[in-house]
Each structure stands twice: as C-alpha cells, then as structure tokens.
Structure 1
Amino acid sequence: MPQEVRAVVALKRGAPVEVLPALVPDPGPGEVLVGVQACGVCHTDLHYRDGAIGEEFPYLLGHEAAGIVESVGPGVTGLAPGDYVVLAWRAPCGGCRSCRRGRPWYCFESRNAAQPMTLADGTELSPALGIGAFAEKTLVAAGQAVKIDPSARPEAAGLIGCGVMAGYGAAVHTGGVSNGDTVAVIGCGGVGNAAIAASALAGARRVIAVDIDDAKLDLATRFGATDTVNSRGTDPVEAVRELTGGVGADIVIDAVGRPETYRQGFYMRDLAGTLVQVGVPDPEMRIDLPLIDVFGRGGALKASWYGDCLPSRDFPVLVDLHLRRKLDLDAFVSETITLDEVEPAFAKMQRGEVLRSVVVL
C-alpha cells in the first residue's frame, strides 16, 4: 500500500519549492524503499528548480542521500531491510554498449525505479537524477542503493552520492592525478574541495585552489590546497603559471562550469596538460577557442560524468577513507536543516555562504 510522506517539490520553472504530501508505492521487482536520513542540497537541485535541466515538472528534488532500506521488491538480492546505504544516480545496467565493453562508469542505460512517486492527487513526480530524496522515504532501483559502513553519520556519508564523488572522481578517475603532479582547481565549493582533497591524497606535489572568495580559499587549505589564488583581482592563468615555474599545471579541474572558467583552465595547463570539466554548465552557455590553440597546446580536454565513478566500488572506499580520517567528509557539512528550509538553503548556496546544507530527517 502506498505510503504518504512529506517531500520537497518544484512545481514550475523558477518558482520557490514547496513541501507537499507525496505517495511512495511499495517496491516492485528490482526496487527498494529507502527511509531517508539525510540529503545534501546540491546545485543540481537548483538547476532542476530553475528548469535548466528539463521541463518534466513537477520535480521531486534531492539526490545526495543516505538512509536505511525499509523493504525490497521481488528479485532483489544483496540488499535487505536495515541495510545502511548511500544512493547513487548511476546504477549500471550491465547490458548497454558501454557496460559490455567493460566501462560501466559510462553506462548509457542507468537503472531507476520503474514506478513513479506521485502527489496526493496522482500527479507523477519526476525524481531529480532518478532519486528524489528530499522526502521522508524514496523509491529507487536496487542498484542505486550502495551499502556502506554504518559507522559513518548520514549527514556526511550522503554527500558521497553526488558532490564529493564528482569532485574526487574528476581528479583521480578522469584527471588521473598521481604522484608529483601539479593540479589547479577552479571553484572551491563542495565539488572543488573534493577534487582538492583527492589530489592531495593521490600524491600531487602542488594543489592550487582558485576562487573569488577568500573564505572559500581558506577552507580549501583545510582540504589540502598548498597554494591559493583569488581570481577576483588577479589573472589566475598568470598566477598559476608563476606558481608552477612558468609552465602551468599538469591537470586543471574546472568545478564551476562557465565559459570564462573553462577558458582559464584551458590556458592554465602546461603543454600536453589535461583539463577536466566537472562543473555543470547552463544549457545556453557556449565556448569559443582558437582551433590552432586546441591543436598546438595538445593534451586532453575531458568532461567528468559523476567523477567517472562506479558507485558499488567507489562509495565504500570513500567512506573507509573518511573513517580512517584521510577524507574529512564532516568538513563539507556547513549546516543541517529541515525539509522546510530547502528554499532558503538555495539562496545561501547562491550567495556562496555554504559548502553544503544538509537536510536531516
């Protein structure tokens, strides 16, 4: 029998979100019902609210979540009621052309729950990134629920489900940061600081944090930045070159996703260096670069999808690093809030006042 829960819903483009009753069906084949304990407020949720990702309103927002499995549907193996999980928005299908080639982190047919959650009047809700976890309970595909060590508190663990994994993976998986590399990270929010932490853990010799906010730059040093550049009044390209002996960084990670930061990152690289874009751009944004520079500078220009991660492999690893005090997930949690405070949290995020507001249920 469907259960009624409170949920944060974006009813139409650009309108403030509302907390409304929603109905969650019992899990069907291959599905699990998860009682949400905590869910981070991510910039992607704001993109959904503003219609920058799609027009399938109303949206059930929230996707950086940890919780407890309450029940499982027919055919589900490896999960049982009581399991502590982090939710992933990629659940490899095992059969698409990417999975068949041994690249499940690029899965093109990622699984989601087949049944929709609805408003009380029966209107179907579109779950953000196939999760929809700004709710007391949510329904997901079994492959989206990744078991982790229950010692990690949900406010911190849930952030692995998106922002931390995206930044960490952009550095380690997509960028291939390794011992002795020089790395520059543009944008020191949650994703950028995760990339900084990952670069430090991977053995980068120098990790340069670039932002326009001194408070964020100060925080970046806590995550492992060796140098900081405030680009509000300084040319960041020249500053990074100066810090790297005049040549530029081996790997640059753009955690902002704007044309100006992408261009900065492109020229901030050493010859044959790598630029990784992990910040999500607005669909209307465009980039114009001289093709001779693209050719002449060489290297690699990459986009990082979810940190090119495999959740079943990577989520437990990041939790273990946290529990071993090598990756401070608690430092990403700026505040804890209720479901009713998501809209004010969006405003704080836009003003750059928080790394992550986290809804606790």
Structure 2
Amino acid sequence: MAQQLDAKALIVDEACGPFKLVDLKLDLGNLKPDEVIVRYHHTGVCHTDIHSRSHATPQLLPAIYGHEGAGVVEHLSPSYSGALKVGDSVLASFCSCGGCNNCQSSRPAYCDIFVPMNLAGFTKDMQQARVAYTAQDGSKGEALIKYFGQSSFSSRMILTKVSSNVPTKLVCALACGFQTGFATVFEKAPSDQPRSFELFESVGVPVPASARSSSRYERSKQTLLVTGMGGVGLGAIFGGKTLGFGSIIACDLNDSRLELAKEIGATHAINVKGLDTAAFAAKVKECSADSRGASLAIEASGSPIAMRNVIMALAVGGRSVVVGAPPPEAPLPVPHAHILAQASSVEGLLMGNSMPQVTLPFLVSKLEAGELAFLQKMVAVYKPDEMNQAVADQESGKVIKPVIEWI
C-alpha cells in the first residue's frame, strides 16, 4: 500500500460559499516525475482566490484554492530529477505548460493554457486531479486540486517552485500580487533609449543618419501612475522606485494605504474620492515629472472608472496597462478618438509577464536585505479556522494581505 500523508485544507463546496477546514490524505504513490510535496507554513490570500470562488461552476467544486504558498519541501517523487531537495525552503507562484511557443520564449504568463491550468485545476496534459477529504462534521468528499498548479490553502500539497530562505509569513506576500505589480513596471516601462530602427534594418530598409537621434528619454523625466494600493499596486510602486521614475503617483480611496505607498516610494499620493475624470487627469498632470501626464499607468483596482481615468491622464504616447480584475462584463467607456489623438495604448497583462525564477529571487533578496520592511504593514496573520474572517477583512479594506498560518 502506498504511503499516505495527513494534511489539512480549506475547501469551498459552493460558489460564493464559505471556506471549510477539512482533513486530507495525500497518496505519495500518485506523484508524477515533476511533482513534489511541500508543507506550507504560510499562504497568502489573493483576490484571485476569492474571485474564483465567486465564479466557480459546479464542475469545478468542491475545490481547494490558494496559490501563494511558502514552506518546506517534504517529499519528492522517486523519479524527480529537478533541483529541489527535501528540506528546501520554497515559494510558490503560477504554473505554465513549458512547451508552447510563449513558454519556450520565456513568456510563461502567456502560456496557451494558462487559464485552465491556473484557474480550473488542469495539468499540462489537460487532466484534473481530486483528493479525498473528511470534513469536521464527518462528511466525506473529493475536492479539485492543482489550482495554479498547486492549491496552497492546505498544509501539504503538490507544487514545483523556487527556493527561498526568509520568513514565510512575509515571503508568501510576494508570490502573486506584489510580483505582478513589480514585474508589470519592468515589462511595460517606456524605453529610455533613442528609437531603434532594428526591424527596418533587419529587412534591408536603409535608415539615414538624419533619422537617428542620440537623445534619451531619461527615466527621471518619466511618470508612473498606479491606481489601487493593494498588493499589486504597492508592488508597482516599488517597481517604479527601483527603476527610478521621476514621478510616481499613487491613487486610492484609503489615506492609510496612500501613506504606505509614499513610504514605499511614491512621490505623490492622490485620494480620488470625489474626483471626476477631468479633475483626476488635471491632478495627474500637475504631479507628473514634466507636466505632460503619465508615461506609464497601471490600473490595479479592477474599477472600470479607474481604467477610464488613467487612460485620460496619459501623456501623448503614454501606455496604460490593466492588471486589476474588473467585473467580467464591464465595458470600457473611453473615446476612441482620444486614444488615437494621444497615440495612447491600452493593454492587459497577466502576472506582469513575469518569469518567477527571475523576479522572485530578486524580491526575496530585497526582503533579506531589509528593503521590504513595509511588508509587515501589509500582512495580517490568521489561523486556518479564521479564513472567512480573513476574507472579510480583505474585502472590507481593513487588511491588504491576509496570510494563513499552518504551523
């Protein structure tokens, strides 16, 4: 008989239903060659978990959510050939198939099957897995696992991820939202170099010297605008500080979060309460490094109104990026002529197009160096049986990053 491990998990068995603490038995004989079992010490609660719970179909329930786990490798598949070993500290993030064109070109967040793998519990061979559980009332069932390739709302679960050696209650806060905001800045920051004609030249188009410029668009003259000071937005603020934007404008309805954004690196803070689009755009231009508006705007609140506002506050040639999840059917009421006349761009970005094995070690190194001390003000720790209170506190804005403590 295959060895089994006992574990606890938080399951949801109906859309919008409460999280319930249950007991699991994990069969070590079912591990695939690329799978390991990790005992999570702490798990971050992400808005994506709550959004998935709210929109889950019966086919995807019951389910174990969670994708921001930090802990220690406890067991490896007998045929595992990766770099991890038992006892390693690890941090989880999103998963990808590794084989599609986007994965092969170092764009795992653009994986062809990102959504089914990360939001519906499918493996890269498009299979789903379930695990047996026993609820506290004695009832039994099977729950869908492998949410984001893992399911970290459990004390032990299957995943593959990068190693870490920092306090897990803080490091798990970097895994999704913070990483997304930080990486988005690096992915979409306007170039500070003169225009390149590389593609023209690659096909033999002659480029005269008179067309070239040696003038640089210095980062100190660029403006980063970020709306929504949750984990994603605060990660973007830190990214802007790291890259050296001349003006970093934080926007929110919560003054305490705006103060935290300034502590992290924002040069300006705007409480948007009562501001219409015109007033908002005027305020952004007033705060921008060159009075032109935002060079890069990141909308992290999920509000369609906020998205309209950031587009209208862009400088000529500015870029706006949607990273906050809006309501599924929400329209984007922006004058098309304005986008054309301003040469603006509007785009969506999953996970900041991050490469976790690049982004996360860097962020962890900053945490180890004491440069992310502000995480202490973002994180609030809850026990597993306090999960529903953690969700309520996050949704009310009382807490930025709830963290579940399993140890």
Q: Same fold (TM over 0.5)?
A: yes
1-side partners of 2:58 and 2:187: how far apart?
Answer: 28
2-side partners of 1:194 and 1:52: how far apart?
Answer: 28
Superposition deviation, residue 233 in structure 1: 2.3
The 3 A distance-change label for structure 1 pair 100 and 63 is closer
Whether 1:59 and 2:63 are equivalent positions in the alignment is: yes
Superposition deviation, residue 83 in structure 1: 0.9
Write out aligned runs for 1:1-361 (5 A). 1-26=3-28, 27-51=31-55, 56-73=60-77, 74-91=79-96, 93-109=97-113, 115-120=129-134, 121-140=140-159, 142=160, 145-148=161-164, 150=165, 152-175=166-189, 179-180=219-220, 181-234=222-275, 235-244=279-288, 246-328=291-373, 330-331=375-376, 333-361=378-406
Superposition deviation, residue 295 in structure 1: 1.8
Asked if structure 2 preserves the Cα contact closer than 8 Å seen for 1:47 and 1:53, the reply is no
Superposition deviation, residue 54 in structure 1: 8.7
Give the greater-gyration-radius structure (CA): 2
Superposition deviation, residue 357 in structure 1: 1.2
Equivalent position amino acid for 1:21 in 2: D
Q: TM-score, normalised by structure 1?
A: 0.91
Asked if structure 2 preserves the Cα contact closer than 8 Å seen for 1:10 and 1:59, the reply is yes
2-side partners of 1:191 and 1:317: how far apart?
Answer: 17
What is the number of equivalent residue pairs in this alignment? 355
1-side partners of 2:92 and 2:386: how far apart?
Answer: 22
Superposition deviation, residue 155 in structure 1: 0.8
Asked if structure 2 preserves the Cα contact closer than 8 Å seen for 1:322 and 1:329, the reply is no
2-side partners of 1:63 and 1:334: how far apart?
Answer: 16
**Which stretch of the first structure deviates more once superposed, 72-81 or 93-102?**
93-102
Asked if structure 2 preserves the Cα contact closer than 8 Å seen for 1:333 and 1:358, the reply is no
Tell me the alpha carbon deviations over residues 233-276 of structure 1, each in whole angstroms, 9 at most, x when there is no partner: 23322211221254211111100122111101111110100101
Question: What do you get for the CA RMSD once the two structures are aligned?
Answer: 2.2
Asked if structure 1 preserves the Cα contact closer than 8 Å seen for 2:107 and 2:355, the reply is no
The 3 A distance-change label for structure 1 pair 193 and 101 is closer
1-side partners of 2:268 and 2:344: how far apart?
Answer: 24
Equivalent position amino acid for 1:90 in 2: C
Superposition deviation, residue 340 in structure 1: 0.8
Name the SS for the 1:124 alignment partner: strand
The 3 A distance-change label for structure 1 pair 272 and 55 is farther
Asked if structure 1 preserves the Cα contact closer than 8 Å seen for 2:107 and 2:354, the reply is no
**Which stretch of the first structure deviates more once superposed, 100-109 or 224-233?**
100-109
Equivalent position amino acid for 2:157 in 1: T
1-side partners of 2:89 and 2:309: how far apart?
Answer: 41
Superposition deviation, residue 279 in structure 1: 0.7
Asked if structure 2 preserves the Cα contact closer than 8 Å seen for 1:52 and 1:283, the reply is no
Superposition deviation, residue 283 in structure 1: 1.6
Name the SS for the 1:232 alignment partner: coil
Asked if structure 1 preserves the Cα contact closer than 8 Å seen for 2:339 and 2:345, the reply is no
Name the SS for the 1:289 alignment partner: coil
Superposition deviation, residue 122 in structure 1: 4.8
Equivalent position amino acid for 2:263 in 1: R
2-side partners of 1:146 and 1:134: how far apart?
Answer: 18
2-side partners of 1:177 and 1:220: how far apart?
Answer: 24
**Which stretch of the first structure deviates more once superposed, 194-203 or 51-60?**
51-60
> Which runs of no fewer than 5 residues in structure 2 stay unpaired?
135-139, 193-218
Asked if structure 2 preserves the Cα contact closer than 8 Å seen for 1:168 and 1:307, the reply is yes
2-side partners of 1:11 and 1:237: how far apart?
Answer: 44
**Identical aligned pairs, as a percentage?**
27
Q: TM-score, normalised by structure 2?
A: 0.81
The 3 A distance-change label for structure 1 pair 187 and 146 is same
Superposition deviation, residue 139 in structure 1: 1.0
Tell me the alpha carbon deviations over residues 4-56 of structure 1, each in whole angstroms, 9 at most, x when there is no partner: 32111111011111111223232222111000011111111111221269961
Asked if structure 1 preserves the Cα contact closer than 8 Å seen for 2:107 and 2:353, the reply is no
Asked if structure 1 preserves the Cα contact closer than 8 Å seen for 2:130 and 2:142, the reply is no
Name the SS for the 1:123 alignment partner: strand
Asked if structure 1 preserves the Cα contact closer than 8 Å seen for 2:181 and 2:232, the reply is yes
